Amino acid sequence: MNDRYLSVDQVAELLGTTARFPRRLIEERRIRYVKVGRHVRIPESALHEYLASRTVEPIRLRRVGLRRAA
């Protein structure tokens, strides 16, 4: 498997957040990560899985024409 391993700062930049958010995800075990010595790396596929599991699809509403009562 050819997976890129991203640092906490790289994940934060991709998500548009501070480094605190990915660190909290790691601490709460809400995202997969790999320990390499004292460094923590997040596989790119884990980031995609996390985002896919939290993606909310829009609700498609039927458009009903307004009708006047006689």
Indicate the pairing of strand 5-6 with strand 39-43.
antiparallel
> pTM to 2 decimals?
0.78
pLDDT band at 70 (very low <50, low <70, confident <90, very high): low
What is the CB neighbour count within 10 angstroms for residue 53? Answer: 9
pLDDT in tens, 2-27: 889 999 999 999 999 999 999 999 99
pLDDT at 33 over 90: yes
What was the pLDDT predicted at 67? 67
- Using a 10 angstrom Cβ sphere, with 0-12 exposed, 13-18 middle and 19 or more buried, the burial of residue 65 is exposed
